[in-house]
Structure 1
Amino acid sequence: MTDPISRRTLFEMTVAGASAAAMASSATAQSAQRPAASSQSWTTYPEGEKVGYAIVGLGKLALEEIIPAFKHARGSKLAAVVSGDPAKARRVAAENGLPASAVYSYADYERMANDPRIQVVYIVLPNSMHAEYTIRALKAGKHVLCEKPMATTIADGEAMIAAAKQANRKLMIAYRCHYEPLNLEVMRRVRAGSIGKPRMVVTNMGRQADPNTPWDSWRLDMGMSGGGALADMGVYGINAARYLLNEEPTEVTAWSYTDRSDPRFKTTEDLIAWQFRFPSGAIANGSTSFAYSATVSFQVIGETGRLVADPGAFYGGNRLTVEGQPGERNPQIVEIDQFAREMDWMSDVVRGKAPMVAPGEEGLQDLRLMKAIMDSAARGGAPIRTDWGYRRPVDPAAVVDVPRRA
């Protein structure tokens, strides 16, 4: 069995300023406009007290982002690697100072049940493999951090949640933006009413997919991805609309357009646009595509101002523009290693020192919304009710903090 590619590559884009030094936090006057996080701090733990992680899948995301992030993690450490490519696994382990006993294959995956070095298993596999390897890790007695989307079907998502409950272990979905400084800044400004009542959210998340690269070939396969661009990029916009407004949509209408002569789109749709209606009266317009110019932007339009994040979901270099409000137009946002912060949050959840911000139910809500979007688009834009009773258990804006310096 060859090594599965990582769950996603967040686009091969150049980010202006992404390598710049960490920036100072927002000005004092602007900070006064929003509530401060009431959370646990980003604590640094001694090496012996760090939570050990097994990384499952050594593709692009794992090798280029997640494993390097352990160098910046304050409470988490790399404890093991899992791959179907023995040579690659041994090389990665050696490069990171891991012993041979910390190298696992998919065949001996359950051996980790007897490995006290591993407390959390981080699933970084193609979407169709998330459920199997999450459930196997939970049965082995390990907590799980799983990349998004959590699965390719609602049934698989429900099975993952049930397995976590049965094993009495934590299941967290890797919604990186819940812990990212710019997104938290926008959430807090919206909560504080700095732009008046929010009326509209607009999210556009997409890029040009390249079927000749291994990380895109499976994303263009419906069976493996569960939704093409919608599952890869669109999930950012779906989740963002919900956490920016801190409410759940009650109805969705969606449309799609796919050029079937494009060999990339044999089994998945390309351009999908949708509209969510929220109980407050706010509306969210979203789009995603694997065939338009690369963008990961969003904006929140209120009665008295506008918050524009462009880019708003990169691994670094995100930029906020404030319009219609007094004060700094482009507030400086602290830069952090987003994967390190996400893993450290999971580690504190395991320690019982932080609330679970993104449980399996959060991922399941997005799976249901993605299906509703696809169903509406298949019916030519027929409206579909989406008020299934889910309510976010914890508001990231109220609990997640970031350091003043990276």
Structure 2
Amino acid sequence: MPNSISRRTLIELGLAGASAALAGTALAEPAPFPEPQLPPLPDSEKIGFAVVGLGKLSQGQIIPGLKGARGAKLAALVSGHPDKARRIAAEQGLPADAIYTYDDYDRIAHDPRIQVVYIVLPNSMHAEYTIRALKAGKHVLCEKPMATSIADCEAMIAAAKAADRKLMIAYRCHYEPLNLEVMRRMRSGALGKPRLVVTNMGRQSDLSDPSDAWRLDQKMSGGGALADMGIYGVNASRYILAEEPVEVRAWAQTDRSDPRFRTTEDVIAWQFRFPSGAIANGSTSFSYQGTMAYQVFCEHGKMTAEPGAFYGGNHLTIDGAKGDREPKIHEIDQFAREMDWMADVVRGKAPLVSPGEEGLQDMRLMHAILESVAKGGATVRTDWGYRRAYDPAVMVDVPRPV
């Protein structure tokens, strides 16, 4: 095996052998955005998605994303609000029989228009509706965090295996240009050995907003700000460094007189230690000014992504490397790209880059963070043997207009 191998070569080797080929290799620095924009597939060839839950994310990002997707389309809606579902169905040109309620949800098993179910519900509902969709013979794309407990994550993975269906977790940053650029530059070694990653992901929350009210409920969210915003930092430190933490220490600061934090922690800070010696410091909060930023400090330079995980407008600055200090990042519809990737997974044309096991790993790490918080910052071991099956930096290409 040569010392340097491109991601195109890995794809040509075949999906089954790609992860084995990664072992012990250094990735060649890739050309950015090597794939041209392909024309949309005919509607009859697109993979049909049922969107379960019609809240802000579905209406603002997911349904519009499906309209712009190359190989995916909206096929059905599932909602507990019939009036809302009928309105959206009319806007999207869906027939009345493509509307489902939670009570008749299992009827999707008999709807050939649906190949993939996209779960966009409060976190505590993910496991039930994912497992029911898998039992109905459908593939599932599930929003993150995957669930609210380790046991639920494991049950979802088992259900996918039993049904021989695909379960993908919606880690959109695995398919987003800025984050892929950061990953690829890290793999190239151009900045030297990574020493420190710092992630800060949080925002102000509002109990009067129904979409925040359930996120501030420990039972429904599984972790407040940590589950909603902190997960971005937990996941980013792992895909930036391409390794898994072996231990964590964490602390929290919560004002229990604030009605927002009756059941969840507010400010949480943690420190991961990685096998290479790199450290990742992370924080999250539902009471500080909104931010989704990170920095990577290496031997010979640093990268700053601020913002680094917004739906658009992300910005990257690189110090210490040859070339542009502020590389131009080609903007895409991140949700369209994510759903197109899932559609290609179903077709057998793309690897499952963010499978259920990836969601389970983050759930275990978040539970370890909360365990350390409960123990006053005690060290908690996190080396459970998980290893990523496919590196997004190698496998994911980002199309651009010709």
**Measured at CA, do residues 149 and 232 of structure 1 come closer, stay the same or move farther in structure 2, by a change above 3 Å?**
same
Q: CA offset at residue 52 of structure 1?
A: 0.1
Secondary structure of the 2:58 match is helix
Secondary structure of the 2:249 match is strand
Given candidates 55, 58, 78, the residue that maps to 2:54 is: 58
Task: Return the TM-score normalized by structure 2.
Answer: 0.91
- Confirm or deny that 1:225 pairs with 2:239: no
Secondary structure of the 1:70 match is helix
Residue number in structure 2 paired with 1:105:
101
Correspondences of 1:6-21 after superposition (within 5 Å): none
**Residues of 1 paired with 2:68 and 2:184: CA distance?**
25
- Confirm or deny that 1:81 pairs with 2:77: yes
**Measured at CA, do residues 355 and 42 of structure 1 come closer, stay the same or move farther in structure 2, by a change above 3 Å?**
farther
- Confirm or deny that 1:94 pairs with 2:93: no
Correspondences of 1:29-178 after superposition (within 5 Å): 34-36=29-31, 43=38, 44-178=40-174
Q: Among the aligned pairs, what percent are the same residue?
A: 72
Where structure 2 has 5 or more consecutive residues not aligned to the other structure, the ranges are 1-26
Give the aligned CA root-mean-square deviation in angstroms: 1.5
**Residues of 2 paired with 1:142 and 1:378: CA distance?**
39
Secondary structure of the 1:297 match is strand
- Confirm or deny that 1:309 pairs with 2:305: yes
**Residues of 1 paired with 2:32 and 2:312: CA distance?**
21
Q: CA offset at residue 46 of structure 1?
A: 1.6
Return the letter of the residue paired with 1:122.
Y
Return the letter of the residue paired with 2:172.
R
**Contact 1:36/1:398 (<8 A) preserved:** no
Residue number in structure 2 paired with 1:357:
353
**Residues of 1 paired with 2:143 and 2:34: CA distance?**
24
**Residues of 2 paired with 1:158 and 1:185: CA distance?**
32
Residue number in structure 2 paired with 1:324:
320
**Contact 2:130/2:140 (<8 A) preserved:** yes
**Residues of 2 paired with 1:403 and 1:108: CA distance?**
38
Deviations 1:368-390 (A, max 9, x none): 00000000011011001100000
**Measured at CA, do residues 384 and 42 of structure 1 come closer, stay the same or move farther in structure 2, by a change above 3 Å?**
farther
Residue number in structure 1 paired with 2:272:
276
Q: CA offset at residue 405 of structure 1?
A: 3.2
Number of residue equivalences: 375
Return the letter of the residue paired with 1:274.
W
More RCO (CA 8 Å, sep 6+): 1
**Contact 1:253/1:274 (<8 A) preserved:** yes
**Residues of 2 paired with 1:67 and 1:122: CA distance?**
11
**Contact 2:126/2:146 (<8 A) preserved:** yes
Secondary structure of the 1:373 match is helix
Q: CA offset at residue 47 of structure 1?
A: 1.3
Q: CA offset at residue 35 of structure 1?
A: 2.5
- Confirm or deny that 1:403 pairs with 2:399: yes
**Residues of 2 paired with 1:145 and 1:99: CA distance?**
23
Deviations 1:102-126 (A, max 9, x none): 0000000011101000000000000
Return the letter of the residue paired with 1:70.
L
**Contact 1:38/1:398 (<8 A) preserved:** no
Q: CA offset at residue 404 of structure 1?
A: 2.9
**Residues of 2 paired with 1:42 and 1:308: CA distance?**
28
Return the letter of the residue paired with 1:328.
D
Where structure 1 has 5 or more consecutive residues not aligned to the other structure, the ranges are 1-31
Deviations 1:110-149 (A, max 9, x none): 1110100000000000000000000000000000000000
Q: CA offset at residue 42 of structure 1?
A: 6.4
**Residues of 1 paired with 2:154 and 2:398: CA distance?**
32
Q: CA offset at residue 40 of structure 1?
A: 8.1
Correspondences of 1:192-231 after superposition (within 5 Å): 192-231=188-227
Residue number in structure 1 paired with 2:286:
290
Task: Return the TM-score normalized by structure 1.
Answer: 0.90
Q: Greater helix share, 1 or 2?
A: 2
**Residues of 1 paired with 2:359 and 2:191: CA distance?**
29
Q: Which moved more, 1:325-334 or 1:114-123?
A: 325-334
**Residues of 1 paired with 2:122 and 2:208: CA distance?**
16
Deviations 1:227-263 (A, max 9, x none): 0000000000000000000000000000000011111
Return the letter of the residue paired with 1:237.
G
Q: Which moved more, 1:323-332 or 1:366-375?
A: 323-332
Secondary structure of the 1:106 match is coil
**Measured at CA, do residues 199 and 344 of structure 1 come closer, stay the same or move farther in structure 2, by a change above 3 Å?**
same
Return the letter of the residue paired with 1:96.
Q
